[in-house]
Amino acid sequence: MKLKKRMGLLILALVIAMLISGCSTKKQVNTSQGSKENASENGGTLVIARLSDAENLDHHFMSTINAASVTHNKIYEGLVGRDKNAEIKPLLAEKWEQLDETTWEFKLREDVTFHDGTAFNADAVKATFDRLLDPEVASPRAVVFKMVEEVKAVDEFTVQFKLSEPFSPLLSILANHEGGIISPKTIEKYGNKVIQEPVGTGPFIFESWTPGKEIVFHKNEKYWGTHSKLDKVLFKVVPEETTRISMLETGEAHIAEPLSVTMMETVKNSKNAEIYSSEGFGTEYIGFNVEKEPFDDARVRKAVGHAVEMDSILEGVFENVGRKSNSLLGPKVFGYHEGLEAYEYNLNEAKRLLTEAGYPNGFEATLKTMDKKEWINMAEVLQSQLKGIGIKLDIQVFEYGTFVEQVNRGDSEMFILSWRNATGDADYNQYNLFHSSSHGASGNTFFYSNKEVDSLIDAARAEKDSDKRIEFYAKAQEIEMKESVYIPVRVIENMAAISKDVKGFSISPSGYLEINDISIK
């Protein structure tokens, strides 16, 4: 057994050596400028090798956590944030108070400036939200703040949010990336166009972006809070996972994300890297565009649900990493319905439903996914399983940005997707994914509409009583499951490969990369 183990390690070393020579030609990044004892003072350059680039750097136009993770709490900061336990904490606002059902008042910090030297104050906060909510800007993220009627600068460091209706989860939304405050000069420069050079108040300053290649930040020496131990951060786009992992081995990168389950064993056997893993708020799922035939018939969607053997997918595709999901809400999210039951595997029932819907011999359909290994593997398993009820799936794999664009505009029939639930509150999931006003880029890529579900979601937003909110969300989730809008797969497991020289890295339950406390040996 010892000989086999040695041989296995030798083979692994040879494979990585070939990957380095075949895939990576760039010089090693010098990440330390002195002794290890002085690492906290000398900083260095943190290199993050990522699967996909950000689709843009403007929080008002971002539709994915993948993009927001680059700038949230690094370039842009909000009035409030979250601590390591995901609890709301003061950030650019020192304190706040709900004056009445529809008025929230925030007292701002007085020692903050934007990266361009502009003073942070109530007018800056107002300018950010005025832009977000301006119909001419047409921000796809405006929907999450649609209840905000006015942002009023009471005095230089006091701002009020006037709502059109009560909205209990306001703080959770403000802590999300959509709540990031943008420099008024940047807003004036770009107006209703997508911001290309983000300017905020955070611990890092934007330096450059080469689309498809890399994004570069450097340390904000005048940051109002605790300064980063890093001098620079490079987000490098490296689509091939084996290359990302080999970059850790050679010192070309310090973090490789996401990490697939298929590469876990390689990282476990590495001398230089280790696995980071934590449970997220969100889930992965199989979705239907309910406006496209034949998936406009709930019986067809339900038949597919009964034909999918999820346990074998979790074991064969995900190697049992991440728990099985029964909802699009993760168990850590407020409003999660523990008793919700997904459809059991039952081929006879699936065939009966297809026959009843007028498809006794099945049909042909297209399943779209992005170029993520597990999702491609899952698509292939689904293709095999659905043959059992006569459904022939054509699998189409796209680069991340192209995939998101197609699904957002409704150019889909079936798709594999995830929703990370950035706030930890069911509202962010339910309103964005299922409310009829959120079709498309806002999140409802099912293009689902149900008046009762809309009413339940609206009622939960306005309700102060936590128990009643939970009841509203439970009923909404039951209707969504009954109508088979989606098939839940698993709770997201945030995974990355990180260098053993890196300390202080984490991924929040929302899915944001947390790098502000990182040090490099």
**pLDDT 10s digits, 39-80:** 335 589 999 999 999 999 999 998 788 899 999 999 999 999
> CB-based contacts of 63: which residues, under 8 Å, 6+ apart?
55, 140, 141, 404, 408, 441, 442, 443
DSSP state of 436: G
The pLDDT value given to residue 42? 58
The pLDDT value given to residue 6? 40
Burial of 138 from C-beta contacts in 10 A (0-12 / 13-18 / 19+): exposed
Nearest to 88 by CA among 202, 201, 173, 171: 171
Q: What is the mean pLDDT of residues 135-150?
A: 93
CB neighbours of residue 439 within 10 Å? 18
Domain ranges of the chain: 80-190, 279-493
Burial letters for 183-202: b for 16+ Cβ neighbours within 10 Å, e otherwise? bbbbbeebeeeebebbbbbb
Half-sphere exposure of 130 (CA within 13 A, CB side): 16
The pLDDT value given to residue 26? 34
Q: Of how many residues is the chain composed?
A: 521
The pLDDT value given to residue 7? 42
Report the Cα–Cα distance between both ends of the chain, in Å, rounded: 35
CA separation, residue 174 to residues 106, 134, 161, 438, 485 (Å): 12, 18, 11, 19, 29
Is residue 333 over pLDDT 80? Answer: yes
Q: For the whole model, what pTM was predicted?
A: 0.79
Alpha-carbon distance of 402 to 118, in angstroms, equals: 36
Q: Does domain 279-493 have CATH number 3.10.105.10?
A: yes
The pLDDT value given to residue 9? 41
Nearest to 217 by CA among 62, 373, 47, 361: 47
The pLDDT value given to residue 225? 97
Q: Which CATH code for domain 80-190? A: 3.90.76.10
Alpha-carbon distance of 74 to 90, in angstroms, equals: 16
Our measurement of the distance from residue 14's CA atom to the centroid of its chain's CA atoms, rounded to an integer in Å, reads 35
Q: Dig out the tokens for 336 from the structure.
A: 């999660």
Q: What is the mean pLDDT of residues 19-34?
A: 35
Strands (E), 327-432: 363-370, 391-398, 414-419
Question: Over the stretch 239-284, which tens digit does the pLDDT of each residue have?
Answer: 999 999 999 999 999 999 999 998 999 999 999 999 999 999 999 9
The pLDDT value given to residue 11? 42
The pLDDT value given to residue 43? 80
Alpha-carbon distance of 379 to 419, in angstroms, equals: 18
Nearest to 342 by CA among 283, 395, 294: 283
Is residue 195 over pLDDT 90? Answer: yes
Instruction: Confirm if 20 and 249 have CB atoms less than 8 A apart.
Output: yes
The pLDDT value given to residue 32? 33
Alpha-carbon distance of 179 to 72, in angstroms, equals: 9
Q: List the beta bridge partners of residue 287.
A: 415, 486
Q: What is the mean pLDDT of residues 359-388?
A: 96
Assign 3-state DSSP to the chain and report helix, strand, coil percentages, each to 5: 35, 25, 40
Instruction: Confirm if 244 and 256 have CB atoms less than 8 A apart.
Output: yes
Task: Please report the DSSP string for 145-189 in residue order.
Answer: GTTEEEEEEEETTEEEEEESS--TTHHHHHTSGGG----HHHHHH
Residue of 402 and 18 predicted with greater confidence: 402
Alpha-carbon distance of 88 to 161, in angstroms, equals: 18
Alpha-carbon distance of 381 to 386, in angstroms, equals: 9
Return the residue matching tokens 């090798």.
49
Question: Over the stretch 85-100, which tens digit does the pLDDT of each residue have?
Answer: 888 999 999 999 999 9
